[in-house]
Amino acid sequence: MLNPPDGKPGDPALIRQGFALSEVFSSWPDELLERLLPASRLRRYVRGDLVHSEASGEAEVLIVVAGHVMVERIYPDGSHAPIAILGSGLVAGISRGLVPNDAPLHGYRAHGDATVIHLPAPVVFRTLGAEALLWKSMARTLSRQHRQIFTTVLDHLTGNTRQRLAAAIGGLVQIYGLEESTQRLRLRLSQDDLAAMLQVTRRSINKEMRALEDMALIRSEYNGMIILDLSTLRKLGQSTAPIGA
């Protein structure tokens, strides 16, 4: 569902709230944000809906207002694989907007109910104009965001499958914005999603999930899990040998 029926120029109050929620846009002067409003579209999605694809349409800047958006890698043959999840307040599409003629790399899909602001990338950059301080602030914020995502993706690639799975779950807790002081955390992510993100078979994920359950670190449930011991799970993700080996 690329263009939901409620995707219209209205909802200015909600769009302003979305700007305020985003670390990238919250530092913009009100007069510049007002220039963005006429071109802004607030759209609502359900799980699995396509939010945006770099392979089709104009370059867009996306602000996740509520819910979560799965980032997918688009391959030359048209296939795609999930690589990261963006939570509330995070921004996507800036780099694509700067080099719109580059080959498309990413698609974005709703991971559960999600509300997203769509902004035409040329409008964003034209509004920025010669605002050097805003460019600097945006670069700093996006660098932090990209570092967080890159670290999570890198953790997916190092260690054995159990360590990579533990690291991925620990990283996703941070991206999801879950309250880490809570005794039990619920993470909605299917085994198929985890298998695709780690580039392993679902059978391997199922085996390692059972092992983590036996270690009393998680409890599996339909399309998700309950995290019982985040601290130990993260230690496992950072270790060179499985705990209890």
Q: Which domains occur in the chain, in start order?
A: 12-134 (2.60.120.10), 158-238 (1.10.10.10)
Question: Tens digit of pLDDT for each residue in 89-135?
Answer: 889 988 887 787 788 888 999 988 999 999 999 999 888 876 777 88
Where is 208: in which H helix or E strand? helix 202-214
Q: What is the mean pLDDT of the chain?
A: 81
Encoding tokens for residue 232? Answer: 């130990």
Residues ≥6 apart with Cβ < 8 Å to 234: 166, 167, 170
- pLDDT, position 68: 86
Higher pLDDT, 132 or 72: 72
Encoding tokens for residue 103? Answer: 């080959």
Question: Tens digit of pLDDT for each residue in 28-37?
Answer: 999 999 999 9
Among 38, 35, 26, residue whose Cα is nearest residue 129: 35
Where is 74: in which H helix or E strand? strand 69-74
> Do 207 and 165 meet the contact criterion of CB atoms below 8 Å apart?
no
* 5 pLDDT more than 70: no
Among 178, 170, 177, residue whose Cα is nearest residue 152: 170
Average pLDDT over residues 29-51: 93
pTM for the complete prediction?
0.70
Could you tell me whether strands 80-86 and 69-74 are parallel, antiparallel, or unpaired per DSSP bridges? antiparallel
* Integer Cα distance of 109 and 73 in angstroms: 11
Q: What's the N-to-C CA distance of the chain in angstroms?
A: 47
Higher pLDDT, 40 or 148: 40
- pLDDT, position 150: 63
Question: Tens digit of pLDDT for each residue in 139-159?
Answer: 787 777 766 666 666 555 567
- pLDDT, position 87: 83
Residues ≥6 apart with Cβ < 8 Å to 141: 23, 24
Buried-state track 46-72, b at ≥16 Cβ within 10 A, e below 16:
eeebebbbbeeeebbbbbbbbbbbbbb
Share of the chain above pLDDT 70, in %: 82
* Integer Cα distance of 116 and 137 in angstroms: 22
The tally of CA atoms less than 13 A away on the side-chain side of residue 54 is: 26
- pLDDT, position 44: 96
- pLDDT, position 217: 93
* Integer Cα distance of 193 and 200 in angstroms: 10
> Do 71 and 84 meet the contact criterion of CB atoms below 8 Å apart?
yes
